[in-house]
Every structure is written in structure tokens, then in C-alpha cells.
Structure 1
């Protein structure tokens, strides 16, 4: 009998039997920049360029009203599962607004950035948030700039904010698009109940009188209870930390096993394209061009292992007891901030974005109508208008202040 032909594997419609190195999938305008042994795929767009990029839409325009350019480069930070492709419709118009260069790069585990083995020999985990922050600052240096405007989308907003905390002097402004950052609830002051604390009682002044003696004994008993409760609470917290540590180790071991690889392939196959469609307000407008742009990295050798290592890094970061959550540091941000969201974002609700803007001093908040999780792709004209208005207002005001100070 003739040998049975082996069934070809595919994930989200992408053949998995003929995977390539990421650089073999590069576009004509792709570039690679090595940082700590990682070849980061990126694209640079300048306002002086005249040739259209192969993956940029020609129908996106920005009004030319003769206003002066911002004069600061921009760095674009994509979200989870995305890549440089997600900025393709707005890079060139943003370069016109900036009057200089705009750079977008693929964070490790995404796009066409090289997939590297994660081991303890490397000084910094390439799939960690800290590495993405370092890479962002390195690209600001790459552009020979003292500071830049950071535009983050979804999980890329976390990279943008962490970069600000790492080096605030290098960040001119932050634009947070559909930010996947947990926003704290507004502080609510307790309303008066009409009862006064420590209400005075009419008791005799003699400290040995029965009412006073009972109060002292009761107070001592309450203090003892507090002490016991505190000790028990510390024991529970210690046990919880041990359990959490064991849980994290077990989860990491599972994800790094062959079962973890099978799981991530299954998830991407079943929900990858569905996730892209769900990110749009109108899924019917998701074209084959968009689907191919998002699934192209699945042709890279080692994509599933890299994605798992990125997930593991996020788990370890979230389990760290020493790392202060970004949500508790938002009030420390002092640079100009714009928060943009789609009114029908199914992934990061608009109310969370609004709460985030409320938590950042002086932040501006804009909602784009009939738009989902990807304003820069689904509503590029409206997105560019919002960003341009914000940047021109901020930097026009700054320039006027400098001029007045000089006079």
C-alpha cells in the first residue's frame, strides 16, 4: 500500500510546515536593529519621504494648513498580538505632523523581530517589559533625539508609561490609545453618618469607678485581639505568597512544556482571526489585507515559543511583590497626556480609558465614535485629527511660553 500522506498543519490559515526566519519575511521598507542579541524589526517614516510604503493606504490624509511642525520624533508602540503593521495607515501622516521621523518597532515575540531562546545567561529577559522599555529608549537614541512623543496602543501603552517612569526627561508627551492599563476607581470620601467618633460619655472622673475600669479592661482586650489578628494576617499572607509562588512555578513549567506549545497553537488557530474581527466596531470591514497583516508573523519560525515566553514574563511581572503597579503611580505623570478610545471598544472598555485619564493630572480624553479597539486602523482620519489637535495645542502653548520667557 502507498504510504499515507502526512496531514499539513496550519494555524489561522497559515501553513506551519514551512516556517521561515523573520528576516526572510521582511518588507522592502523593513529595517533591523540589534539590541542585546535581539534583532528588532522596525520601520521609519520621514516627512521628507515621497514614495509610499507598500503596506500604507493612500487614502489617509492630513489637512495642510501651513502650521509649523511639532519638530519632535514619534515612537509607536503596538499592542499584544499586533506589530508594526497596525500603524501602517497613520505613520506617514504622523510624520507630516511631526515634521521629522516616526518609528515603529516590533516588540520581542511579535511581528518580525527575531525569536531568541530565553535563558538565565542573558542579562535581561528579551520578552520582559523592562527589555521593551530599554528598546524604546534605545530607539530614541537611534533617532538622535533628546526626547520623543510616545504613542502606545493597548498593551503598548504600558510600555510607554513605564518608559516615562524610567526616563521622564526623554518623553515629550504620551498618547495612550485604547490603553490596556488598569485604571483605579475614583476616590470616594465616606459620608458623615451623624455619629461622632469617640463620643464622650458622662462618667465619673474617678479612674477606679466601675464604668471606667470596664472600659480599660475592654480596651486592653481589643488591643490583644488586634495583635492576634495582625499575627494571623501575616501568617496568611506568608502562606499565600508561598502558594502563589508554587502556582506560578507550576504554570510556567506547564507553558514551557509541549502541552503549552500545543495550547498556544490551538488558541491562535481558534481565536486569532476572531480576535482581530472582534477588535473592530464593524467586523465586516476587516479585509483580507488586514488578516494577512496580522497572521504574517505566524510564518516565523519559533513564534509560538516566543509568545509563550512573553506570556510567562507577564505572569512573573504581575506576581512580583516588589514591583509597584502602574495604576498606583499614574498621579506622578507630569508630561502632556492624551487618552484616546473607541466608543464601542469590546476589549478595553471606554469607561476604563476615561478613568485612566481622570487618574493622570491634566490628561485629555477623546472618544472616537463608531470605533472599536483599533482607532488608528478603523478610523485613521479621526484618529489623526485628534492626535494632531492635541500635539499642536500642547507644543504651541509650550513654544509661546518659551517666547514670552525670552522676552
Structure 2
């Protein structure tokens, strides 16, 4: 029982190198997050003045991809906050980044299930004081799948959806059942450790890593830091073992009520038929539905890493059309 406290102290000591990061307790899990607030709010706080009460302003919550962490939103958070006037939050999902990785849990409270990831996101916002605000969900890959599931389960809480390289079909959300059983076993954990330590971050998720100026100095190191943190490989194995795909497209009619921006890279090797998936998702939508599809050229599965300015421009333009500015 001493491991969680030791793990927490260790994670805090490593994360302390970045003063912008913070921890909050969510369902008894120490969770690492960052918040970007508009610059005019920062000035008010510096002058010890209260922030304006803006009940109409939604909060923007960013959910990263599998084997990613909150770092992936580094280039988008502050510009997005300044352009929209919204507070922008990104956090490390359970099993990733600097968030604690429990090695035991109560029955019915397994933090490594898909349903737990949905509840966790909502509870995070509650703990941070945003429980009464509508949510603009920005999700990448499996983070987009979680975003859609939040919208399906808690429609009254959601303002709009921004899906980046979304993994919405069961085969794109995770490995098949046979692979899950193997990777969730003890030998599977050893295999994961060997493969992940060698290949993270996966270069196949990008169009061309050599075109990214900060690939070797910033991007690659930020994805590799968690590899040496406590319970990393065990938690990834648990996540795979208990994985059950979200049923998103069968419930697509519930998504049609939300404005949706769907962003895809033209060289997405992970999810190759994005336009086909988008067309399936919007099938049967009412004529007044706001459903937009955009492609970024010379870009892979993670536009926010590879083409951050292009992704940012698309997101800001979409939100301004929704009168968020």
C-alpha cells in the first residue's frame, strides 16, 4: 500500500521541472494537468483583480491520443485561449504522462476501462471548478473517441466537438480481442516494454518527422519521458487488457445535435479512411446540423504535433463561426 504514495512523490518531483503543470486528485488518482487562460485574465490576476463572471463561456477540454500525453497540445493551448476567451485544459489520461498509475482498485472502479475514462474527464472538470460550464471537447485519435462518448452519455454538458484524426471504428480504437488477451498477460507486458521502449514515439503516426523542427529536441523527448516512470508498461498492459471499444457510429444520431469539426491529415497511416468514416458519421443528420470536414496536407495522424498552426487556424475559425471569440 506504500507504492502509491512513493509513486506520487516521484511523479511530483519529476514534473516539478515544468512550473506550468499542476496536480489534482480525481477519484483518488493524482492527475497531472495544465490550464491556459486568456492573457487579459492573466493581467487581472497579476493585479489581484477578480476574473469576469462569464457563465456563457464554455471550457475547452483537450484529450490526447493513446501513448500520448498532455504535451501534444503545447502549441495550441495558449493561442486557443487567447482567441476564444475560454480556459483551455489538457491532462494526462490514466496510464499516460505524469498521472498516477494505480496498481490496485476497488471492485467496479477499474480506472483502466473505457467507461472510466469518460467519467474521469467529467470529474476532472468538477474538481477544477468547471462543473457548471458547457464543454468544447478537442480530442485526438482515441481521445476523439472518448470525446464522442462523453457527448453521447452526457449530452447536456457538451457544447461542441473537435475531432482530430479520430479513431471511431472499433478496429481503430484498439487491438482485437486476441491481441488484447496476449498483451494483457505477463509475457505481453515484457513484449510491450521491449517494443515501446524502442519505438516510442511512433514515427508512422506522422507524414515526415524530419520536417518538424523540434522533433529531436522537444517532441520526441516529451513522449519518451513517461517510459521511465513507475508502472508505465504495466498500466498500458492493463489498459489493453480491459479495453472494450466505444460504440460511437451506432449512436451517431446522438452526435448530430452538436457542432462538429472533423480534422484529418491527408497521410494518416493509422486511420486511412477518414473521409469514409466522416460520411458514415453524418449519414442521416438533419439539414441544419453543423458538421464540417477539413484535411491538412502533408500531415499524418497527429496534426497538432506536425502541423500545429494549420490545426489551430481550423479550430479557431470553426469556433468563431460558432460565435466563440
Normalising by structure 2, we get a TM-score of 0.81
Aligned partner of 2:51 in structure 1 is none
Find the residue that maps to 2:200 and give its secondary structure: helix
1:248 Cα deviation after fit: 6.1
> Is residue 73 of structure 1 aligned with residue 59 of structure 2?
yes
Aligned partner of 1:332 in structure 2 is 254
Alignment coverage as a number of residue pairs: 287
Distance in 1 (alpha carbons) for counterparts of 2:278 and 2:137: 19
Q: Choose 374-383 or 21-30, whichever is displaced more.
A: 21-30
1:140 Cα deviation after fit: 2.9
Aligned partner of 1:31 in structure 2 is 22
Aligned partner of 1:310 in structure 2 is 239
Q: Choose 31-40 or 353-362, whichever is displaced more.
A: 353-362
Given the alignment, which residue of 220, 223, 228 partners 1:299?
A: 228
Aligned partner of 1:370 in structure 2 is 298
Aligned partner of 2:271 in structure 1 is 348
- Distance change >3 Å, CA 86–CA 393, structure 1 → 2: same
Decide whether the 8 Å contact of 1:183 with 1:355 is kept in 2.
no
- Distance change >3 Å, CA 124–CA 359, structure 1 → 2: farther
- Distance change >3 Å, CA 335–CA 347, structure 1 → 2: same
Report Cα offsets for 1:109-155 as digits up to 9, x if no partner. Answer: 11111010144x24421111112111211233224342110000000
> Is residue 385 of structure 1 aligned with residue 313 of structure 2?
yes
Q: Choose 254-263 or 80-89, whichever is displaced more.
A: 254-263
> Is residue 137 of structure 1 aligned with residue 122 of structure 2?
yes
1:255 Cα deviation after fit: 4.1
Distance in 1 (alpha carbons) for counterparts of 2:249 and 2:78: 32
Decide whether the 8 Å contact of 2:59 with 2:136 is kept in 1.
yes
1:369 Cα deviation after fit: 1.5
Decide whether the 8 Å contact of 2:57 with 2:133 is kept in 1.
no
Decide whether the 8 Å contact of 1:341 with 1:353 is kept in 2.
no
1:360 Cα deviation after fit: 7.4
Aligned partner of 1:205 in structure 2 is none
Find the residue that maps to 1:329 and give its secondary structure: helix
Find the residue that maps to 1:373 and give its secondary structure: coil
Aligned partner of 1:209 in structure 2 is none
1:265 Cα deviation after fit: 0.8
Aligned partner of 1:269 in structure 2 is 197
Find the residue that maps to 1:93 and give its secondary structure: helix
Distance in 2 (alpha carbons) for counterparts of 1:368 and 1:180: 17
Given the alignment, which residue of 142, 145, 148 partners 1:155?
A: 142
Gaps of 5+ in 1: 1-19, 52-69, 185-246, 319-323, 400-407
Distance in 2 (alpha carbons) for counterparts of 1:29 and 1:183: 35
Distance in 2 (alpha carbons) for counterparts of 1:175 and 1:127: 24
- Distance change >3 Å, CA 183–CA 391, structure 1 → 2: farther
Report Cα offsets for 1:236-270 as digits up to 9, x if no partner. Answer: xxxxxxxxxxx969964x54543122111122134
Distance in 2 (alpha carbons) for counterparts of 1:292 and 1:360: 44
Distance in 1 (alpha carbons) for counterparts of 2:78 and 2:119: 25
Distance in 1 (alpha carbons) for counterparts of 2:117 and 2:167: 16
Report Cα offsets for 1:157-213 as digits up to 9, x if no partner. Answer: 1110111112111110000110011299xxxxxxxxxxxxxxxxxxxxxxxxxxxxx
Aligned partner of 1:124 in structure 2 is 109
Gaps of 5+ in 2: 1-8, 44-55
Distance in 2 (alpha carbons) for counterparts of 1:283 and 1:387: 23
Aligned partner of 1:59 in structure 2 is none
Given the alignment, which residue of 154, 160, 176 partners 1:167?
A: 154
Decide whether the 8 Å contact of 2:206 with 2:306 is kept in 1.
yes
Aligned partner of 1:179 in structure 2 is 166
- Distance change >3 Å, CA 367–CA 183, structure 1 → 2: farther
- RMSD of aligned residue pairs (Cα, Å): 2.7
Find the residue that maps to 1:137 and give its secondary structure: helix
Decide whether the 8 Å contact of 2:184 with 2:240 is kept in 1.
no
Find the residue that maps to 2:323 and give its secondary structure: helix
Report Cα offsets for 1:281-338 as digits up to 9, x if no partner. Answer: 2121342111101111112111000000111121xx24xxxxx721100122111111
Aligned partner of 1:358 in structure 2 is 282
Decide whether the 8 Å contact of 1:149 with 1:174 is kept in 2.
yes
Decide whether the 8 Å contact of 1:154 with 1:178 is kept in 2.
yes
Aligned partner of 2:323 in structure 1 is 395
